């Protein structure tokens, strides 16, 4: 499950401007080249953000999401998963993600994401750094907290808990779990088990289950879920406020 081609992230109730946007090529520690979509805010908050997309990779939904977060004051980099198998470059709607997805290795995603964090820290050395992900990317966002030291927090929307559960003892940043009550990709029992593991390991986290909401509910084009999408926006921004160490 992932966001459709015609999906768009919900708008913010209050927003600033986007100062710049660009497609960049970065290099992972093992020499792999991959692409990120990078946006800079017009009114910076002193916060940087790694965005993990769903399994389709960097499609239009995530370009718009990066702009939304930039409007909220974040410097944003959206990670493209498929540089190792499809090479760097933009992905159109006709990109055949499925065979590349089948070759995806979680440790490679984490290594590429670590390079994205390093890029953001070079650009803004005084920024707090967060991550957010959706579906597959939600699990990778939570997992990043076990790989990169010094993150301020990691957010996942309807993520895959198995990606982080295997590294739960190494988690070092607070997590935010935003879950769909009627998720068809991951069961409530799997989420409950992940939370139990976090509790047993003494890891800080917050969670919210949106009862009745489907997977990929965070969609501005679906008025049925506009209220919970607004609540999810508020929780993400409040979470980054709570764990911020710099003064905007």
Q: What is the pLDDT of residues 187-242, one digit of tens each?
A: 889 999 999 999 999 999 999 999 999 988 999 878 888 999 999 999 999 999 99
Q: Which helix (H) or strand (E) holds 28?
A: none
153: phi then psi, degrees, rounded to nearest 5: 175, 155
Walk me through the domains of the chain, giving residue ranges and CATH numbers.
Answer: 18-242 (3.40.50.1820)
Strand partners, 128: 47
Q: State pLDDT tens for residues 148-196.
A: 999 999 999 999 999 999 999 999 999 999 999 999 888 889 999 999 9
In 81-201, alpha helices (H): 83-86, 97-101, 106-123, 136-144, 162-165, 188-201
- If one compares 119 and 245, the residue with the highest pLDDT of the two is 119
Average pLDDT over residues 114-135: 97
Burial grade of 153 (CB within 10 A; 0-12, 13-18, 19 or more): buried
Distance separating alpha carbons of residues 175 and 204, to the nearest angstrom = 7
Distance separating alpha carbons of residues 22 and 36, to the nearest angstrom = 8
Mean of the per-residue pLDDT values of the chain: 93
Min mean pLDDT across 27-36, 66-75, 88-97 is at 88-97
- Residue ranges with strand state E in 28-122: 33-41, 47-52, 74-79
> Measured in Å, how far apart are the chain's first and last C-alpha atoms?
36
- If one compares 93 and 168, the residue with the highest pLDDT of the two is 168
Two tokens at 23? 């497609």
Identify the three-state secondary structure at position 199.
helix
Average pLDDT over residues 131-150: 97
pLDDT of 3:
63
Average pLDDT over residues 2-11: 76
In percent, the amount of the chain with pLDDT more than 70 equals 97
Q: State pLDDT tens for residues 44-64.
A: 999 999 999 999 899 999 999
């Amino acid at each position: 499950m992932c966001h459709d081609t015609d999906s768009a992230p919900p708008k913010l109730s209050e927003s600033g401007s986007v100062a710049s946007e660009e497609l960049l090529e970065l290099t992972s520690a093992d020499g792999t080249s991959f692409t990120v979509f990078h946006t800079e805010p017009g009114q910076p908050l002193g916060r940087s953000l790694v965005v993990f997309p769903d399994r389709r990779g960097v499609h239009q939904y995530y370009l718009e999401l990066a702009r939304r977060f930039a409007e909220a004051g974040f410097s944003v980099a959206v990670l493209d998963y498929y540089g190792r198998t499809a090479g760097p470059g933009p992905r159109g709607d006709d990109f055949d993600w499925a065979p590349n997805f089948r070759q995806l290795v979680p440790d490679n995603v984490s290594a590429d994401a670590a390079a994205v964090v390093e890029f953001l820290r070079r650009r803004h050395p005084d920024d707090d750094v967060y991550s957010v992900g959706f579906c597959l990317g939600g699990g990778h966002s939570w997992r990043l907290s076990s790989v990169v030291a010094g993150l301020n927090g990691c957010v996942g929307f309807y993520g895959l808990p198995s990606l982080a559960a295997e590294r739960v003892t190494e988690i070092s940043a607070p997590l935010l779990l935003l879950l769909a009550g009627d998720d068809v990709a991951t069961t409530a029992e799997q989420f409950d088990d992940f939370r139990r593991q976090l509790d047993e390991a003494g890891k800080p986290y917050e969670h919210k289950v949106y009862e009745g909401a489907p997977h990929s509910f965070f969609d501005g084009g679906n008025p049925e879920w506009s209220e919970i999408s607004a609540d999810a926006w508020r929780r993400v921004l409040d979470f980054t406020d709570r764990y911020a160490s710099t003064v905007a």
